A and B are shown apart, each in its own frame.
Chain A
């Protein structure tokens, strides 16, 4: 039993931190907020070179063959700098379901393209109801000759504008099935929406009878629910890792500020009202670390409690990151509420991830199902 990172894992984290500290400074994040595409190609190329984009794929697809713990490490570092870009969308939402359920041809086509930085993917997991349960999917796919015709409306699709392909769950007679569609295909309409977190891009996608071939189906017809479940669990853990990164950054900033800010002739860090708040923030950050890396390991190792661990992770960290980032603003006072100070970048990133892939309440109901049935 060993809950510490291996030397290789530590090396990966250090190199990620070094690269992101250099290429993803707050100035970069702010520039990308104003940018039409919203992310930098140069940094994307660096990530491809370092093997991050193919991190969880087998070597035969140009990947590094690493696991979810390593993927979580990268996401934590990305959260720490509020990295703007379609990394999670491409590698986790697009790549992992293809890896888990795609055909040989689909994997051959997309995984090396993702790993080399040529292709960006995403998945359209939400509809009007905002229910994360795959059973709630209302979009439909009807057989049309050898292929399918897909119709429906998808909400909050991350980085759809940047994507070369979008995984779309739709209802077929066999149940929920997963399709890979080209967002530039006829019948697909993208409408960007703007959220308060400008480091993440969301779009609404309308599918007006989009015709796809038989080869667009990912996994068996009716097998989309299981694929989505496992993709959602992995995305929930990676999003939690990002939130953990935002929380650590906010805690660091709060502690740093408490060491230099003076009021009433003293450093505010000497006041227990501030110090105890910071101590509670650290406790929540460290507990989040435990929750994230336990769940990442459990999913990777196929542990008995992997599913519930993912829900424990997402529910705990969603609440903790919101609180820690919020309390960091409170420790800073007025300066923390300004646009020019960077805290809100992390606060908003945590907030946008909080509702993705199931919020705390959603996952607590999954936990309740687990404990009530065991």
Chain B
């Protein structure tokens, strides 16, 4: 056990930091075009798709190097690259499960953001029970025809392509009749509508598919193997952003401590109140524990071990932490914490939101409710932990056998 960073990693961090200092956009990026320009700059510096194989435009970099880049970006307040789903989910899926033609055709264009991607998994009636999805893909000889509706599609508005899960065999057990496809979004059979969330913003969309066409060459893996592919997909994002996530929390925490110095109750600064101190200290302890956890995950990845179901523990822990953190932040900030506009600068929060707007404490608080729902709710994660790590018996489920319709 040695938690000191290696000289190589320290040197690499310095190099990334220097690059960011020179290349950071001077003003917040407002348009998609501006974001794409920044994205390409990151790519050309070798900071995107770092873990992907070199022959498809990646860097073959170590997990620690990827984590350092993301972390330095978070620390410097750099805007995120665009095409997040392409980089985080679609690309790794194609790297692992795609054929040679698919890798050559799609990976590079994800990295350059020439083609933007979204993920078409959840449906209105298939959330936690994703395997019950109803969107169908019918074999028409040289292509598939897709009908159905998807929801919670991030970046659907700007996507050129979507990674789709659709049912190709309704007669077999629900987990066995699903296939994975790459579907062009810009076609007459696909309609995208923004979904307004409780945050007031629209990071997500609904996607309606009516006779949409998918070529045979765009099927990923074999027929009926989509469920297994989807399950590995959900595990990809666990390591790369681990340190960056913590640095983001730390920056927010420092803002909160400053706010606790300014605000008063009963004539005393909040920072002197024993109960506030206890709450702030508890959050700092939990935040640091998440940082230690991130170091553990990175250690596993560096050793070439896949965290597997351990990813469920990590996700459960940090997403539940984020909710507790934001609740304490609201308690301290009071009405200031609820402002979506017009907060005095010293009590405002400057974070880059998922849609690229400057964030507020109110937005961060509301958004923290999403983390324990998306990518497998806390309840689903606990089922996974119980069954796959602790080896507890599976529950009796009414849908275990039989077809979906």
Contacts and interface: CB of A to CB of B under 8 A. Distances in A.
Interface of A: 1-6, 9, 69, 255, 258-259, 266-267, 269-272, 274-276, 278-280, 282-283, 286-287, 290-291, 293-294, 297-298, 301, 303, 308-309, 311-312, 315-316, 361, 364-368, 370-372
Interface in B1-50: 1-6, 9
B180 interface: no
Contact of A1 (B4, B286, B313): B4
Interface stretch (B209-217, B218-226, B381-389): B381-389
A269 B392 contact: yes
A5 B3 CA distance: 11
Interface of B: 1-6, 9, 64, 253, 257, 261, 271, 274, 277-278, 280-282, 284-286, 288-289, 292-293, 295-296, 298-300, 302-303, 313, 316-317, 379, 381-383, 385-387, 389-396
Quick one: which of A266, A276, A303 has the most chain B CB within 10 A? A276
Nearest to A274: B392
Contacts of B296: 3, 290
B382 A276 contact: yes
B292 A294 contact: yes
Contacts of B285: 291, 311-312, 315-316, 364, 367
Contacts of A365: 274, 277-278, 281
Contact of B1 (A3, A286, A371): A3
B280 A1 contact: no
Contacts of B261: 372
18 contacts: A1-B9, A3-B296, A269-B393, A274-B392, A275-B382, A276-B379, A278-B386, A279-B381, A279-B390, A286-B317, A287-B289, A291-B288, A315-B282, A316-B285, A364-B278, A367-B281, A371-B253, A372-B271
A315 B298 CA distance: 25
A63 to B, nearest CB: 20
B385 A69 contact: no
A258 to B, nearest CB: 6
B277 A372 contact: yes
A287 B317 contact: yes
Contacts of A279: 316, 381-383, 385-386, 390
Contact of A271 (B278, B292, B395): B395
B385 A270 contact: no
Given A4-B1, A291-B292, A280 B382 contact: yes
Contacts of A316: 285-286, 289
A275 B3 contact: no
Given A1-B299, A270-B393, A287-B317, A301 B382 contact: no
A73 B285 CA distance: 22
A371 B286 CA distance: 13
Given A269-B386, A279-B381, A279-B382, A364 B395 contact: no
Contacts of B6: 1
User: Which of the listed residues A4, A266, A361, A370 has the most CB atoms from chain B within 10 Å of its own CB?
Assistant: A4
Contacts of B299: 1-4
Nearest to A269: B392
Contacts of B382: 272, 275-276, 279-280
Given A3-B296, A278-B390, A311-B285, 16 more contacts: A1-B6, A3-B298, A3-B299, A269-B392, A270-B396, A274-B392, A276-B386, A283-B385, A291-B292, A294-B288, A297-B2, A298-B3, A308-B288, A364-B277, A364-B281, A368-B277
B257 A372 contact: yes
Given A2-B299, A69-B1, A259 B391 contact: yes
A2 B5 CA distance: 8
A287 B1 contact: no
A368 to B, nearest CB: 4
Contacts of A294: 3, 288, 292, 295
A339 to B, nearest CB: 27
B316 A9 contact: no
Given A3-B3, A270-B393, A271-B395, A364 B316 contact: no
B392 A258 contact: yes
A275 B386 CA distance: 6
Query: Closest 6 interchain pairs by CB?
Result: A275-B386, A364-B281, A368-B277, A290-B292, A279-B382, A367-B281
A272 B282 contact: no
Contacts of B317: 283, 286-287
Given A275-B383, A283-B313, A309 B3 contact: no
Contact of B281 (A271, A278, A371): A371
A294 B291 CA distance: 10
A2 B3 contact: yes
Nearest to A4: B299
A255 B392 contact: yes
A309 B285 CA distance: 8
A240 to B, nearest CB: 12
A291 B295 CA distance: 11
Nearest to B312: A279
Nearest to A281: B390
Contact of A270 (B277, B286, B381, B394): B394
A358 B5 CA distance: 31
Given A316-B285, A371-B257, A297 B280 contact: no
A194 B171 CA distance: 68
A3 B295 contact: yes
A110 B172 CA distance: 74
A280 to B, nearest CB: 7
Contacts of B277: 364-365, 368, 372
A4 B303 contact: yes
Given A275-B382, A315-B282, A290 B271 contact: no
A282 B395 contact: no
Nearest to B305: A4
Given A276-B379, A282-B313, A372-B271, A309 B295 contact: no
